[in-house]
Structure 1
């Protein structure tokens, strides 16, 4: 493969010419796969090196599919041309991904982002959109969903019953190193891993975390089932049921419905449904089990929300408010409610999510860009939480006080 010319030696062409050089014919299927292909004429410079070819293909898909043809008021053809021209042959897939996402963020639209195999979202979204079983797109994954802040990693979510949970990692813990290297959320190896963590930002402990090879969706299904429990607070004479919906999947919906039936028979005094973390995709059908349970046993129901609640789970929160099915506690949801199309690109080295349209809100008010506000606001803890969960703690206080 030839090296591409240095940026300063690229021929000067109009933005429209450069855009024309990268447009590909695409299908209108809900899932699109694009592999590398040779072109001729004006597009030759975009194929001189892998990085330029990659960004050209990715942005051509966005140009074709993005629902807002004004591109949020941007001179889109010029922006694409600048991004292609700025890309160097030596750029890694991460650098290509970062450059694309910098541009996509200016569209100010949900469900519009690029992921590579270096991102946990790549593995999660691919497994979410793989409907033939739960064992595709696997990686060593112990069940900790980490996010970065100022080049430091924190456990935003720890899946119920996961290896990370069993090892003692708690939400808000800082994840300092993994097997002697700076922490990387996709850097686990199959089997035992040594992880340095800090719960308070001062003391550091090293723990062993076993990472099973599994898909993220498999982990979400197992974690949802593992979350179901009844807290028997004998000291105050209350029984509190809890369930966390990690994602939308038939197995999760069936387990959720079965758990609601069990909770009804358990003669509970309150129900907590945790919508935080994971993925969306849920439909109003998930609330049918709650409606049935409340008809049998009209106990207080609390739904936990924050800005990690997105898409279909935001619809659930909005319907809860519309139909007065319970109390929303936490912070405002993400406001990610556009209809997205997934694209596996370039031999599946990239996963591109593109907003392709709006999604109806059945009498709930706008969600995209707004989110769903809580009835009782409680700020979540994101860093060095010492194992505490302010949102859950507040709900328990409310239940105990009743």
Structure 2
């Protein structure tokens, strides 16, 4: 089975120069944006912007490209575009529309239909539907195969091309034709685009006092949402909280500050993460402050091959500080940090990789990922299926998690480990 995922989603930080850092992996294909979060066109750049871009790359990019002064003077738009293509895939020029969508996403808001789509065996397949989204209301389900968008067949088109069709704002609604298992004929849906609020965290108290906390991304609101979810688990009248599963599977990351703050909730002391780059402020160390929100209650963290960046920071921080066991698959391995650098009047920006981060053990996970303590292979769970309740009777009584019961081997192992502590 082949899988391909479109890299179109970002979780941004503030546009204050150098002071806010992104550490996001843009790989979840939520076709929900009115503006594509891809590199903006550099064909219309003014000479001042070209000079700014060259200066920032020379001064702050994580690797020294050794640009000479004469080369800087000679650069034109085409050469700038070629230079940007030579940088790592996380460094991009962002135009005004890109920035607007980026900032909205930081606050957990976006405009679209709310479906997560991957290319599976050459089919554009829905693998997740956002709760309270137009797609959810219309009745689109995980597993649906998209065969037509607004009258255009998807059968010979790439994931990127299908994304463009869905995001085409010349249509006020999106008409999707899908193929669904057990149905001989295709099904048609008309889905409105609208603003969707994306929850960073959700939770459920499982049997025997095990808490389940799913963190879907790291935005400006994640710390607050996680704290509220933990408080709800601790205050549940049914049984005392005896252990916690933190599910980071399919979490693409987010802001560095959010990951550090969430890790600090569970740690009494120790290093959370360090960053290293060429310029002075890129070299930072983040430490936990005294105070564990769970007061030592055991933790197991779930990761998979799509857990990336900020999610990897949290997993490694808890693992290296001996605060949690990590269960699942080797994570993605995105170990770089981006700074959002305004250009000109602030309507455009350069998202530039300025540092690499290192786990508390001093290890760079770039291209390698976090190694779980207990490796258990399992098919990827889409975002909307992360909050899975194993027991049938609990699922029936928990309407906020309207998901099918799955044989979640990693979650079962996590519960087993917690029961042994």
- Please classify the TM superposition score into its range, dividing by the shorter chain length: 0.5 to 0.7
Partner of 2:313: 315
Helix, strand or coil for the counterpart of 2:200? helix
**What's the offset of the Cα at 1:64?**
1.9
Q: Distance in 2 between matches of 1:147 and 1:255?
A: 28
CA contact (8 A) 1:174 1:384 kept: no
- Which segments of 5 or more consecutive residues in structure 2 lack a partner in the other structure? 1-15, 21-40, 155-161, 268-291, 389-404
Is 1:113 paired with 2:92? Answer: yes
The aligned counterpart of 2:11 is none
2:340 counterpart (314, 321, 342)? 342
| CA deviation profile, 1:36-63 (whole Å, cap 9, x unmatched) | xxxxxxxxxxxxxx96333977765443
TM-score, normalization by structure 1: 0.59
Please report how far the alpha carbon of residue 286 of structure 1 lies from its aligned counterpart in structure 2 after TM superposition. 0.9
The aligned length equals 322
- Pick from 204, 214, 231: which aligns with 1:229? 204
In the alignment, structure 1 residue 295 sits paired with structure 2 residue 303: no
Q: CA offsets, 1:305-357, max 9 Å, x none? A: 433522x3321111021022323334333433333222466888865311123
Pick aligned residue for 1:179 from 150, 153, 156? 150
Is residue 285 from structure 1 mapped to residue 261 from structure 2 by the alignment?
A: yes
Give the Å deviation of 1:256. 0.8
Distance 1:61 1:151 in 2: 42
Taking the aligned partners of 1:374 and 1:169, their CA distance within structure 2 comes to 34
Let me know the Cα RMSD of the aligned residues: 5.0
**Counterpart-to-counterpart distance in 2, 1:195 and 1:270:** 43
In the TM superposition, what is the alpha-carbon distance from 1:170 to its structure 2 partner?
5.3
Within the alignment, does 1:125 sit opposite 2:124 as a pair? Answer: no
1-structure distance, mates of 2:90, 2:137: 32
CA contact 1:280–1:309 (8 Å) conserved in 2: no
TM-score relative to the length of structure 2 = 0.57
Counterpart CA distance in 2 for 1:83 and 1:152 is: 40
SS in structure 2 opposite 1:53? Answer: coil
CA contact 1:58–1:352 (8 Å) conserved in 2: no
Choose from 271, 292, 300 the match for 2:244.
Answer: 271
CA contact (8 A) 2:92 2:352 kept: yes
The structure 1 residue matched to 2:175, chosen from 194, 209, 224, is 194
The change in CA–CA distance for 1:80 and 1:380 in structure 2 (over 3 A counts) is farther
CA contact 1:172–1:387 (8 Å) conserved in 2: no
Partner of 2:5: none
| Largest Rg, 1 or 2 | 1
Q: Which has the higher contact order (CA 8 A, sep 6+)?
A: 2
Distance 1:153 1:76 in 2: 47
Distance in 1 between residues matched to 2:244 and 2:355, nearest whole Å: 35
Alignment partner, residue 398 of structure 1: 413
Q: CA deviation at 1:80?
A: 11
Equivalence map 1:28-107=2 (5 Å): 29-30=17-18, 52-54=43-45, 60-66=51-57, 67-68=60-61, 71=64, 84-85=77-78, 100=81, 104=84, 106-107=86-87
Task: Summarize deviations over 1:364-393 as a string: whole Å, max 9, x none.
Answer: 421334332333445564699997999982
Is the CA contact 1:54–1:346 (under 8 Å) kept in the aligned structure 2?
A: no
> Does the aligned pair in 1 maintain the 2:128–2:385 contact within 8 Å?
no
Take 2:344 and 2:118, find their aligned partners in 1: how far apart are those partners?
A: 26
Q: Is the 8 A contact 2:144 2:178 kept in 1?
A: yes
Looking at secondary structure, tell me which structure has more helix per residue: 1
SS in 2 for 1:228: strand
In 1, Cα distance between equivalents of 2:382 and 2:181? 5
